[in-house]
Amino acid sequence: MKKLLTGLIIALMLFSGMGATLLVSANSSHALADSQWPAFQGDSHNTGRSTYGIGDNPGGEKWKAFLEDEVTTSPVVGPDGTVYAGSHHQALYAINPDGSQKWKYSTEDTVGMADHTVGATPALAANGDIYFGDANGAFYALHPNGTLNWTYHIEGAGDANSPTIGPDGTIYFGSGDFNLYALNSNGTLKWKFKTNYTVIGAPAVTADAVYITSTDKCIYALDLSGTLKWKYETGGQIWGAPTITPDGNITFGSQDGILYELNSDGGLVWQFDTGSYIGSSPAVDTDGNIYLTVENGQLYAIYPNGTLRWNFTAGSMSLSSPAIDSSGNVVFGCNDGYAGHVYALDSGGKVLWQFDLPSPGKSSAAIGSDGTVYIGASSYLWAIGEPTTDSGTGDDTSGGTTGDTTGDSGSDGSAADDNGGTSTPGFEVTGALLVIGLAVVMQIIVRRKK
């Protein structure tokens, strides 16, 4: 009998371990994609940091893709070089690396005529799914070919803003209804947390916490179950996203003109007064230096201890968050009257190049693996790099292999993902393996009795 009990325990441990391994694997397939620039500011910490360099980028027009209306979303880049961006034409676009259109997904409501503008930045999952929200409170998951996987609808008024994907595949995004939403990878609600005003910026997610900012003037730290750990109040609304520094601190700007850095317990480490409204998100390099644009057109480079390193005057206004390449070069957009500019500076603040845009913009730059810089302005997605003889798609939006796709927006989390239904990925597999293990042990017991 002892041998039988020992066998039972070993079998349970064996099959439970296999199930746990498969569960981790299933969850990791829905985590943030390991790609060139998979989310706002490039990663789940919102660092704005790339592992690729722009040193060989001459700052010319490589191509431009017409997205049919104003582009305020920041682009993201997939593992195969596909660039994704939304526009006020109520659509998300997938653009090939050569600037041609791969597909377009329309969010337009042809019946109720509600505004489904896509103005927030998408996020890419490791399994290829694309997550994004619109101005009418619909949040979408698309398959890599641009067809609908599922949708989640916010109850009442409120746009769905830029998402971040956690290590376990949980999707976090803020809304105009004052809530932070946490969704499972199959589109069902995990939990939500209510602030006192709009949550605009993309959440920053670590292994044990979610950090969000709100226009109620506060930054919030939550645990992964959605329980409040602490909050810190500033003197103004917070529009930008929080950023995690290499030492685990949290930095963010406020409309009171101050850049704050807090430790993971919510204590103030330092503050830096810029003297101007801050509507962007800070970027941080591997050494902990912080880069921030402010609304009076200044870019500040700040040492990890909160003192000024250098500053650069770019234009009259900037809402574009900086991006940092592997060598510490900085790319950002700014506005100057009725025109826009994209600047590339070296790590000491010297201009590498300037690219002029036909109109002001709010989009932040993304960096591709070949050093190409992608940014939205006017009705176009621009690729800045080595100029080509054919500078892109112009006003042609008919390209691509799949064309326009539109899905029934369905009900909250009603469409199942590859794991089926509304269950948590991996648990069905684990349960099945345990049953098989028990069956094997029972067979042994029966044979011994015979």
Please tell me which residue, 291 or 116, carries the higher pLDDT value: 291
Mean pLDDT of 197-222: 97
CB 153 within 8 A of CB 187: no
Q: pLDDT tens across 363-377, in order?
A: 999 999 999 999 999
Mean pLDDT of 435-448: 41
Q: pLDDT tens across 5-15, in order?
A: 444 433 433 33
Tokens for 239, please give them: 């529009």
CB 258 within 8 A of CB 234: yes
Please tell me which residue, 419 or 262, carries the higher pLDDT value: 262
DSSP code of 438?
Answer: H
CB 182 within 8 A of CB 168: no
Instruction: Say how many Å lie between the first and final Cα of the chain, rounded.
Output: 14
% of the chain surpassing 90 pLDDT: 68
Q: How far is CA 369 from CA 68, 81, 210, 386, in A?
A: 27, 8, 28, 14
Q: Which amino acid is at 263?
A: N
**Largest Cα–Cα separation, the chain:** 90
The pLDDT score that the predictor gives to residue 266 is: 98
Distance CA 367, CA 391 (A): 19
The pLDDT score that the predictor gives to residue 2 is: 44
The pLDDT score that the predictor gives to residue 66 is: 95
The pLDDT score that the predictor gives to residue 29 is: 73
Q: How far is CA 221 from CA 206, 245, 275, in A?
A: 11, 15, 27
The pLDDT score that the predictor gives to residue 233 is: 98
Q: Are strands 130-133 and 123-124 parallel, antiparallel or unpaired?
A: antiparallel
Distance CA 86, CA 83 (A): 10
Distance CA 450, CA 372 (A): 72
Tokens for 237, please give them: 């609304």
HEC secondary structure over 11-38: HHHHHHHHHHHHHHHHHHCCCECCCCEC
Give the pLDDT band of residue 274 (cuts 50, 70, 90): very high
DSSP code of 336?
Answer: E
Mean pLDDT of 111-125: 83
Average pLDDT, the chain: 83
Distance CA 212, CA 220 (A): 5
- The full DSSP string for 344-396 is EE-TTS-EEEEEEESS---PPPEE-TTS-EEEEETTEEEEEES--SS-EEET-
CB 333 within 8 A of CB 340: yes
The pLDDT score that the predictor gives to residue 415 is: 34
Domain boundaries, the chain: 2-28+425-449, 40-405
Mean pLDDT of 149-169: 92
CATH domain 40-405 topology: Methylamine Dehydrogenase; Chain H (2.130.10)
Give the pLDDT band of residue 158 (cuts 50, 70, 90): confident
Distance CA 341, CA 152 (A): 36
